[in-house]
Amino acid sequence: MATVTIKSSGSGTGNFTLEPPTTNTDRTVVLPDEAGTLAIAENISAGITRAEQWGLTTNKTSSGNITNVAEISEDGYSGLNPGMTQSSGQFSFPETGFWLVRFTAVFEEGSGGNDQPRFTIVYTDDNFATDAQGVFGFCGLTDPPNEFANTSTIEQIFNIDDVTNKKVRFQLVLMNTGNRLLGNSNGRFTNFTFIRLGDS
C-alpha cells in the first residue's frame, strides 16, 4: 500500500485531505499558502501568445501575388511577441499552432471605373511547390462619379503543424486596370494580421 508523508512547515490550523497515488512511484506536491484549485500543467492554456500586423507598403495596380509588405509602423502599433517572416510575400510562421490569418484590403477606384476586385489568402503545405486559394473576398467600387474607396476583410484559421512547409501568401485575383489596392509605407491601409490562437 502506498504511503503519504506530510511535512508541516507553517503555523496554520486548516485541514486538507490527500489521497495516495495509485502507482509505486513517489509523488511530491508543494502547496501554496493560499486557497485554490490545483491543475495539471498541460491543461492550462496560456491564451494568445503571438499577434502581429503587416501592411502593403506601396499601391498595387494589377492582379497577382502581393510582395511589397512590411510589419506596420503606424503610431500606436505594438505586436505581441512578433515572429512572422516573409520572402517575396511568402509568410513563414515562427511556431506551430492554430493561427488566424486576416487580410484587410483597401481599394480605390481610379480610371478603371466601376469594379468588383477579388482577393484571397493562398495556402501551401509543401513550401509552395503547390498551393491552393483559401477564402475569397470581393469589394465593390462604383463611381459616384468621383474617385471612391472601399474596404473588405477576409480571414481563415490554419493548423500550422509544420513550419517548414505550411505557409501563406496574399493575392489580388482580379481588378480593373487603373484602379488600385492601397498601400502605404507605414501600413496604414491594406494590412495582414496573424494571431496564434493555441497549440496544434
User: What DSSP string runs through 82-119?
Assistant: ---EEETTEEE-SS-EEEEEEEEEEEE--TT-SB--EE
Instruction: State the Cα–Cα distance between residues 175 and 115, nearest whole angstrom.
Output: 7
Q: Is residue 19 part of a domain?
A: no
Q: Is residue 27 part of a domain?
A: no
Q: Is residue 33 part of a domain?
A: no
Please say whether the dihedral angle defined by the alpha carbons of residues 115, 139, 191 and 132, taken in this order, is positive or negative. negative
The structure's pTM equals 0.78
Q: Is residue 35 part of a domain?
A: no
Instruction: Report the chain (200 residues): mean pLDDT per 10 consecutive residues.
Output: 62 66 75 68 75 97 96 93 97 98 94 89 98 92 73 97 98 93 92 97
User: How many domains is the chain built from?
Assistant: 1
Q: What are phi and psi of 41, to 5 degrees?
A: -55, -40
Q: Give the other-Cβ count within 10 Å of 73's Cβ.
A: 13
Q: Is residue 55 part of a domain?
A: yes
Q: Provide the residue range defining the domain that includes 107.
A: 50-198
Which grid coordinates belong to 48? 494568445
Place of cell 487603373: 178
* CATH code: domain of residue 88: 2.60.120.40
Contact 53, 153 (CB under 8 A): no
Q: What are phi and psi of 43, to 5 degrees?
A: -95, 0
DSSP codes, 136-195:
EEE--B--SSS--EEEEEEEEEEEE--TTT-EEEEEEEE--BTBEE---TT--SSEEEEE
Q: Is residue 29 part of a domain?
A: no
Q: Tell me, what's the pLDDT at 155?
A: 98
Q: Is residue 40 part of a domain?
A: no
Q: What 3-state class would DSSP assign to 60? A: strand
Q: Is residue 144 part of a domain?
A: yes
Q: Tell me, what's the pLDDT at 188?
A: 85
What one-character DSSP code corresponds to residue 122?
E
Please, which contacts does 17-26 make with residues 24 or more away whose CB atoms are closer than 8 Å? none
Encoded amino acid at 174, one letter:
L
